[in-house]
Amino acid sequence: MLSNKKVGFIGGGAIAEALIRGILNSKLVSPTQIAVSDISIQRLDYLHNTFGVITTNKIQAVSEQSDILFLTVKPQVIDSVIDSVASSVTVKSVVVSVAAGITLDYLQEKMPGIPVIRVMPNTPVAVGEGMAAMALGSHTTQEISEPVSTILGSVGRVVTIREEAMDAVTGVSGSGPAYAFLLIDALSDAGVCVGLSRNTAVLLAAQTLLGAAKMVLETGKHPAELRDMVTSPGGTTIAGVHVLEQKGVRGALIDAVVAATTRSREMGKKS
């Protein structure tokens, strides 16, 4: 599927690095099939020395050669980037934007007739356990999107959604790692409170959340069913769950997702 494809990145930051690592670790393409452009020469040198990919500070040198072109830049600079690549991409290419708040309509207006995809990845792509959602433009078929899905799948999991759901995705998985980090931090504080060392408490908390998440994904069982499996009548777990319910932890998490989703919509309107 990707053996004869050239993959380009405009912007060589953390997301680009994570995707490049995933692509190469999965042996989807060779390093010489990947090209990166960035304004920082130091960053380009790092990516070339680390991965063996082609690097240049000339945007069009990457865009005109790429079958799959990732725009891995901040929303603040997306205008100038699109203006630079619009004349060099063709209908045989697919342009993938990870810039938050930049709509498919905007991308298609700037690049008429070009297949475009909007993607929302989250930060755990850096360790190969990310979650990405992608919305397809009107000129992007399922066949065109499959290589992009494969690339995103090399650093975690991917779903295809309607663009209207992108703000909700931001609220759940885009901002979600921060909620998980907060929970790990709180659990480790609790461990220290009851006598554990900080290192041991952090390890216990982080591995427990990792294992719980893996059980949900691999068993396919509802989280409530898995919770019941570890909650014995009159036992320690139900005592802890009771306190969490009394303190409104479930409601607070729901409110957090709603707030993040609302903020994402507000930012999208401004963009």
Do residue 261 and residue 181 come from a single domain?
yes
Is residue 118 in a domain? yes
* pLDDT for res 1: 66
Do residue 36 and residue 104 come from a single domain?
yes
Distance CA 6, CA 21 (A): 15
Q: Which residue has the higher pLDDT, 7 or 100?
A: 7
Do residue 90 and residue 208 come from a single domain?
no
Do residue 53 and residue 109 come from a single domain?
yes
Tell me the average pLDDT of the chain. Answer: 94
Distance CA 235, CA 239 (A): 7
Do residue 44 and residue 144 come from a single domain?
yes
Do residue 128 and residue 258 come from a single domain?
no
206-244 per-position pLDDT tens digit:
999 999 999 999 999 999 999 999 999 999 999 999 999
* pLDDT for res 237: 96
Do residue 122 and residue 207 come from a single domain?
no
Distance CA 203, CA 58 (A): 44
Q: Is the pLDDT of residue 103 over 80?
A: yes
Which of these three, 166, 198, 225, is where a domain ends? 166
Is residue 218 in a domain? yes
Determine the residue type at 219: T
Do residue 132 and residue 93 come from a single domain?
yes
> How far are the Cα atoms of 81, 104, 152, 178, 181 from residue 69, in angstroms, in the given order?
12, 15, 13, 29, 32
Q: Is the pLDDT of residue 199 over 90?
A: yes
For 219, the domain range is 174-270
48-77 per-position pLDDT tens digit:
999 999 999 999 999 999 999 999 998 888
Which of these three, 113, 141, 166, is where a domain ends? 166
